[in-house]
Every structure is written in C-alpha cells, then in structure tokens.
Amino acid sequence: MEKMDIIRKVIEPTEWVNALVAVEKPKTGRLRVCLDPRPLNKAIQRPHYPLPTLDDITPKLAGAQYFSVLDARSGYWTIKLSHKSTMLTTFNTIYGRYRFMRLPFGIISAQDEFQRRVDEAYEGLQGVAAIVDDILVYGHTKEEHDANLRAMLERTRERGIKLNEEKSIICVTEVSYFGHRLTREGIRPDPNKVKAIREMAPPRSKAELETILGMVTYLSRFAPRLSEATASLRQLLKENNEFVWDSNHDIALQQVKDLLTQEPGPVLTYFDHTKDVKLQVDASKCGLGAVLLQEEKPVAYASKALTETEENYAQIEKELYAVLFGCKRFHQYLYGPQVVVESDHKPLESIMRKPLAAAPPRMQRMILQLQWYDITIIHKPGKQIPVADTLSRKPIECSESSLSEGMDWQIHTVVRNAPVSDNKLAEIRAATGQDEQLSMLRRIITSGWPESHKKCPPAISAYWNHRDEISGILLKGEKIIVPHSLRAEMLSRIHTGHLGIEKCKQRARDVLFWPGMGKQIEALVESCNICLKRRNSFQKEPMISHPIPERPWQVIATDLFMWNNTDYIAAADYYSRYFEVEKIPSLTSNTVIQKLKAMFARFGVPQTLISDNG
C-alpha cells in the first residue's frame, strides 16, 4: 500500500490517531484494510448522498435480455484526499504511524462520496446502473447490450476507475446482483441466499435470531405471507420476553424456509411504467397482504402483521388499512399513475365515494393519506385475488410488525369534539354490551358483513344501508349508535326546550343515531301539549330594514329568478334603488360571475354584496 502511494509514513505529531482493522473478503479470501475511526466519525458531518436500491434499478430492466456485472476494484482508493484530510486518517501500527492518501474504508462519509462519484462518472449512459462498486450493464438485444458496455468501459477509462476482472461477468442472460437473480423473465431469489436460508440452524440467542430475520426480510418481496410466518419468532425479540426456543418456533422457522426455498422459486416481473398498474390487497384477523401486478403478473409481494391494537380494528378499517399499507409499501411505483385497487371488501367502494365526515375518525386519517394516490377501488371476490387473500385463509398468531416502524406517514389531524361526556360514554358503552341487537351488530362488524342483504340477520337488517359507516365502537360516522335502554332518555334530552320537530331532529342528527329516530321525535313532539301551544302562538317576526348606505353602489343585492321560461339576474343598489335586470343563458356560477363582472366594470366594485346564494 505504501508503494502504491495509498498510505504514507507520518513523523510529525497529529491530532487524530485511529485503530486499524483487517477484514477478510468473503469470496476471494483477501484482506481488506479498514480504519476503525469511531471517534473521528462522530466529528464528521455526513453528506447523506442517496444510495440507490434494487427497487430503484429493477423498473429500468423491463425487456432486458442480456446482463453484465462489473466490480470496481478498490473503488474507494480512486478518491484522493486533501492534505488536511489525510492527517485525520492517521493510524498506528507496529511499524509506526501512517496516513491514508486515498479514501479509506470505515469513514462514515466514504460510501456517500463514492456513490456520488460513481453516479457522476456514468451519468447519461444508457443501460448502466450502479450500487456502490457493483456496476450493472443491460440491453434489450445483444447489440444494444454490447454498445452500452463499450460506452461504459470508455467512461470507466476516462474517469480512471479500475475494474476487477475476476469478479466481472460479461453478457449473460442471468446474473446475480445484490442478493437477487436477474433474468429475462424477471427477478428471482439468489440461489446462494436460498441455500443459506435452507441450511440455517436454529438460533441460540436474540442476536442470532435478529440476523436470521434480517436475511429473510431482505427476500420478503418473494413471500406474500412472510410477516405472518415470522410472527411467533418476532415475539421472542420483545424486550420483556425471555429467549426460549421450543418446537413451535422450529415449525415457524421451517415455514419461513419453505416460503423462500420452494421449487420452482417465484419469479417477479420487472415493473414497466408504460403498463397499467393493479394493486390487490386483503386483510385478515391478524395481518395485511398486498401484491403489485402488471398484466396479471406479480411485480412484488408485501405483508404486515397487525399489532394487538390494530387487531381490534373493525373489519372495514383493516381493509382500508390494507389499501394504505399497499400504497405506502409500493410508493415508488404507485405515486403518479392511475391505479386500480382490488379488494374483496365491497363496502370500500362506497366509503371512498362518501363525504369525509361520513367515515369514522380513524378511517378519515387513512383516506386523507390516500389522497396522495390516484386510486380506484373495485370489489373482487376473495377467490379471484388468491394471493392477497392467503392472509385471510390461513391466519396464525401475529404480533407487532417491524415493517411499520420505518414507514413514512403523511400526518393529518382530524379534530372531533365528543358530543357527550366521558361518564355518559361509559354508560352508553355498558348499555351497548347488554343490548342483544347491538351486541350482534358488534360481532358482525368484527367478523365482517355478509355478502348480501338477504344473508344479514333480521335483528340488524335495519343497519344494512349504513354498514360502511359503522365502526367497531358502534359509531355511524361520528354519531353514537344509542342502545335501546337509553333511547327514551335521549329522546327526553333532545326534546328539552320544546324547539319543535325540525330543530329537535337537527339537534339529534348531529350526534346520535338509531333506526327510526326521526319518526320517534315527530311522535314525541306531536304528543307534547307545550309544543302544540307554542307552535300555535308563534308569530311572524317583523322585517328588519338594512341601514342606509353612505353612497351609491356601496351595498347592492343580487338574485336569480325565472320568468316566462327564461333565467334572469337582478341587481339593486340599496342607496339609490337603481336596479338592473339581465338575461342569462344558464344558472352556472361561471355565467353569473361574468355578468357581475360586467356590472362592476360599469359602476365599480361594491363594498358589500348581499345574496341568498341563488
């Protein structure tokens, strides 16, 4: 390294002296010399350059037939350091102190800087992508591949990047790249990874289990039920749980192996931005599943185990959560294009068409997050979406999922004031538990509504038309569903003040719901002597005149009316009583605005415009 001018001897005093670590390379067995500059790294301001992932590269491979993978040899050493930086890399050996003249391994910013240099080196080249020092060249035909490869090699020579011949693979139809196998048909798990998973021994500690789960999670795109299969294993990683491996964990580990090592292995097609996109989702009692499709071929799978809190969601909330999970998981594919979402839960179609206030607060937050995406939800029976539906067909014990921990959520706040006190809510909750009809309704909400009205139990058929607005805590939108035992009391409270039929209905409909509530309010008011007397004694209020303006055209009033099958707009000045009437071809807002603008152009813009909105 000293002869290659990678390092130089240091004689003068330096502010930093780092430790040195030698790491054996897994494939070649050669030693890689690295610094151990942990104290130095704490003082370095990292540039945080984005590192490409396989998900960033695979969409570019649609239609690719030939591949090459080349390795940049000692890539970090192609980057020269300034004199000041070289002094910071000083390390101690038995032969004295040395400093790196080139970028060493171990520096926290090394990967960011090297990736930036690689991206700049191959910028603008067709059919070339790189993740750190692994350079991928591809083409739709052999001629195109060869042309891309020649351009890449010429740019490599210009930038002084050296390649490792031993680790380079040239012009093949299948190649291993970052733990995956790239083929003409699509992407498969790397056979070496599959072999390693198949031969995994049971872990002896939490640390070993974390290593195993990290390996299998890397291939999660190939296994639609992976989060379910690993649920009992992840239970062992909880902070308060003791690590005790038993036969149930052996079964779970074998299930994980079977999912990832089955023959023939799964093939995922490359994402093609020119083709239509479809997302199939499903929710079970303890998990969510999603599969991204193009031309009915899978692009990627994803699954998520529900937490204990999420397991208590109403079924419609779980189904909508599955849609949100799928969109967030495949954000890089779904942000922008029109997406068809297929679900076996039919109420999702109608809840997405209703006003936001018609949904419970939790679903409101989900719907707001889905506004990022141009999605259309359609209903498909579970048998027609078998992959996503697998979660529902084979539920097993689930626990918290680590997939949600790193999820980037767009936060929206929906504020709702509880219409009753906490004590009254507790009373309603207790009465609901004792109400036979509402208890049955709660069970149906939890387990899922039947496919048709005919199959709905007669006792709760009155709630059928509102099934997509009822949450697991028995709310219709934000209105509390009142049990039978409390309805008389609620009617009495609504009637307090003897406001009449319409105002009593309005007061009730803002916060409460039960079938037939409106008719019961009408009957109560009609039978009330006080209400009848007050209704007969009501007198029309005298008209209240407006104050006289200070100048003409300061305050005007407008109205729309029809005469002799023709629409007109009228405007009157409150000061001078001058008025204008003009025909209008239609009652659209655009037409009315244009007429008002014409009036304002002649007389000026009034200070106040009075209208009854039509």
pLDDT score at 125: 92
Quick one: tokens of 18?
């780092």
Beta carbons of 68 and 145 less than 8 angstroms apart: yes
Query: 187-261 in CATH: which number?
Result: 3.30.70
Residue 118 CA to residue 12 CA, distance in Å, equals 34
- 309 φ/ψ angles, rounded to the nearest 5 degrees: -70, -45
SS3 374: strand
SS3 518: helix
Domain range summary for the chain, segments of one domain joined by +? 7-182, 187-261, 277-404, 422-537, 555-610
Beta carbons of 560 and 542 less than 8 angstroms apart: no
Query: 277-404 in CATH: which number?
Result: 3.30.420.10
Beta carbons of 512 and 490 less than 8 angstroms apart: yes
Quick one: tokens of 466?
């509102």
pLDDT score at 393: 40
Report whether the peptide linkage leading into residue 264 is cis, meaning its omega lies within 30 degrees of zero. yes
CATH architecture for segment(s) 422-537: Orthogonal Bundle (1.10)
Residue 404 CA to residue 305 CA, distance in Å, equals 9
pTM of the model: 0.54
CATH architecture for segment(s) 555-610: 2-Layer Sandwich (3.30)
pLDDT score at 394: 37
Residues of 392-428 as b/e, b for ≥16 C-beta within 10 angstroms?
beeebebbbbebbeeeeeeeeebeeeeeeeeebeebb
Could you read off the pLDDT of 171-223 as tens digits, one per residue? 999 888 887 889 888 888 777 777 777 777 888 888 888 888 877 776 777 76
pLDDT score at 414: 37
CATH architecture for segment(s) 7-182: 2-Layer Sandwich (3.30)
* 446 to 94, 289, 441, 467: CA distances (angstroms): 70, 18, 9, 12
pLDDT score at 265: 63
The two domains 7-182 and 277-404 share their CATH topology (first three levels equal): no
All residue ranges of the chain with pLDDT < 50 are 390-418, 472
Residue in this structure with the two tokens 């609504």, named with its chain if needed: 494
Residue 413 CA to residue 404 CA, distance in Å, equals 19
The partner residues of 189 in beta bridges, in order of sequence, read: 180
